[in-house]
A and B are shown apart, each in its own frame.
Chain A
Amino acid sequence: MTNYIIEVEGVSKSYGGVVANKGISMKVPDGKITGLIGPNGSGKTTLFNSIVGYHPIDEGSIKFKGEEISTYRVPKIARLGLLRTFQQTRIYSNMNCIENMLISIPHRKMGFADMFGEREDKQTMEEVERLLDFVGLYEKRRLRSGDLSFGQQKLLEFAMALMNKPEVLLLDEPTAGINPTLINGLIDRLRRANEEFGITLFVIEHNMRVIMNMAESIYCLAHGEMLAHGSPDEIQNDQRVIDAYLGAH
């Protein structure tokens, strides 16, 4: 029996009169890579935002490891081990790479006194260096992260997410704006994060080649509603999906 780590049931969200998500139901299996596709404006990022508690949902239920999280706020959900990256890369741009990594440690068990705790203990520093090495930013670790190229910032953001030791990582277009050579490296690292660190990935992606290669199952949204769900092969041959992308609807 498959174990589902995220269960979304009948979630709706509208902004004013615009219905961004309507009765969405979906499940993310534990330890797997799941994809989320759909044309621009179909409600993918809205669904991500709902899951991580960025805004309250109008109706429905969102469960993480069986726990209802739809009323929790962003930091609390993040501390449960459900982390997201942003479509527009977001890092702490005036801090260097090491500092970016050091503050990305898990904050799950932080008590009040931990606020003034040692930040560069040996074990944490080793982890920082290992992960910066993993994404190929070791040499640049003392540079201001805001001075890195866009692709490197994306890699840093990914390394920061790994530093947080999440159970699930929600990636919003991880390959957008990255040059094709770097994309292969990134896919490889995402796969390794999934296989070696056991992190469940839930990925929004526009690059069909990438998502069809990576994901085991794919959900497709269109006009705020769940259009189709299936394996990459099924999705690729689904006439409704093709129509949604080509605009015949």
Chain B
Amino acid sequence: MNKNFSFKLHFPILVFGIAAPFLFPGLQLQIATLWVMVLFALTWDIMGGQMGYNSLGNILFFGVGMYTSVLFQVGQFADIAEYTSAHGGDSFTFTNAEYYQGLIIGIIMSGVVAAITAALLGWTVFGLRGPYFAIGTLGMAIAAGELMGTWEWVGAGSGISVPVFPGGAHTRSLLFYFLTFGAAILTFVTLQWVYKTRFGLAVNAIRDDEEKAEAMGIHTVRYKTVAWSISAFFVGISGALFGNITGIIEPLEVAFPTVTFGIFMVAMTLLGGKGTLWGPVLGAVLFHTLKEVTWTYFLGWQWVALGVLIIINVVFFQQGIMGWLMEKFPEKFGIVVENKEATR
């Protein structure tokens, strides 16, 4: 049995993920969004939690992935300028084969282009530290949204619609449900692996004392660039999927939602406990559940409720739920004094 897989923890989640759309068909979209949220929190934590670079602009890669995907989905079979000026999907039809080929290539390229974007941007903003990095990345994400809003070729402010799914509505939502679930699992498994390699130690070292890490000869720039690229790769893929779920890509609200998703990823990670593998997952589940419940039952108060949650989190337990547990029960996490006789 693989030691990375536990029957008590991973198995129930896997079963829930697979059974959920059939058990709760009415909540399918909400649960698909939950997986996107889990992915958001996990990828934000690579930078903010594990490496100590609080990026407020990771949502940039969501938009980059979303646009990249639609451009590949359309661009392989039609002229993009004509497509956007005709306002999308209805006047252009794609065959089944074209649709699926476009979708697969679109999803892969969304990750690749987002990762390359991160590497290039990292080259310019990794000189910034602390709050300056946060504000610098936030500025980039906002600027990206505004720039896309002026670019006629991709539909400017009125956006661009994704190719219409060739099957029924039910099949469509099932397909994208499982794609988001798969993306979240792929993200989790990848991070679980990289954190156990030298990479995990190196980014933690950069978080704790970057100057010391440099003085010890660690290739800090290389690690930082790769960390952000990994993060961007998965966010880019989530963008591709979310764009296809929404159907229409609009720059400010859908592709670059800086003040909603962009902030949620930070809030969820802080709630669950940054710098841990399970913290972001836990935070995303709690945050998303609370958000959906307040949206459904206390409409009008939903932002207040989220605001209160964030304030309680930041004022009373900054270390998040996982961090609090580690402080409370250190021995459960292997933080113990061990003398030689006991171990040898």
Contacts and interface: CB of A to CB of B under 8 A. Distances in A.
Contacts of A86: 212, 215
Nearest to B336: A142
A116 B197 contact: yes
Given A94-B275, A142-B338, A160 B208 contact: no
B214 A103 contact: no
B201 A90 contact: no
Interface in A141-179: 141-144, 160, 164
A95 B204 contact: yes
21 contacts: A52-B215, A74-B214, A83-B215, A90-B215, A91-B212, A92-B213, A99-B204, A103-B198, A103-B202, A106-B217, A114-B198, A115-B202, A115-B222, A115-B223, A117-B197, A117-B198, A119-B196, A119-B197, A141-B338, A143-B337, A164-B217
Contacts of A76: 217
B199 A92 contact: no
Contacts of A96: 335
B323 to A, nearest CB: 10
Contact of A92 (B196, B209, B214, B340): B209
Interface of B: 193-194, 196-202, 204-205, 207-209, 211-220, 222-223, 226, 275, 334-340
Chain A contact residues: over half helix, strand or loop, or mixed? loop
Interface string A127-147: 000000000001111111000
A221 B82 CA distance: 74
Q: Give the 6 A-B CB pairs with smallest separation, nearest first.
A: A78-B217, A92-B208, A103-B201, A79-B217, A90-B212, A107-B217
Contacts of A143: 335-337
A110 interface: yes
Contacts of B216: 78, 83, 103-104, 107, 160, 164
Nearest to B207: A94
Given A92-B208, A95-B204, A144-B335, A107 B199 contact: no
Contacts of B335: 96, 142-144
A108 interface: yes
Contacts of A78: 214-217
A118 interface: yes
Q: Which has the most chain B C-beta neighbours within 10 Å: A86, A142, A144?
A: A142
B340 A139 contact: yes
Interface string A70-104: 00011110110001101000111111100100111
B204 A74 contact: no
Contact of B209 (A52, A90, A114): A90
A115 B226 contact: yes
Contacts of B339: 138-139
B201 A99 contact: yes
Interface residues of A, number: 41
Given A99-B201, A106-B217, 12 more contacts: A52-B215, A86-B215, A90-B209, A91-B208, A93-B209, A115-B202, A115-B219, A116-B198, A117-B198, A118-B198, A138-B339, A143-B337
B67 to A, nearest CB: 29
Contacts of A15: none
B341 to A, nearest CB: 10
Nearest to A96: B335
A92 B219 CA distance: 16
Contacts of B220: 75
Nearest to A74: B214
A182 to B, nearest CB: 19
Contact of B208 (A84, A94, A104, A138): A94
A103 B212 contact: no
B336 to A, nearest CB: 6
Contact of B197 (A74, A83, A91, A118): A118
Contacts of B204: 92, 94-95, 99, 103
Contacts of B218: 75, 103, 107
Nearest to A100: B205
Contacts of B200: 119
Contacts of B275: 94
Nearest to A94: B208
A93 B211 CA distance: 13
Nearest to A119: B198
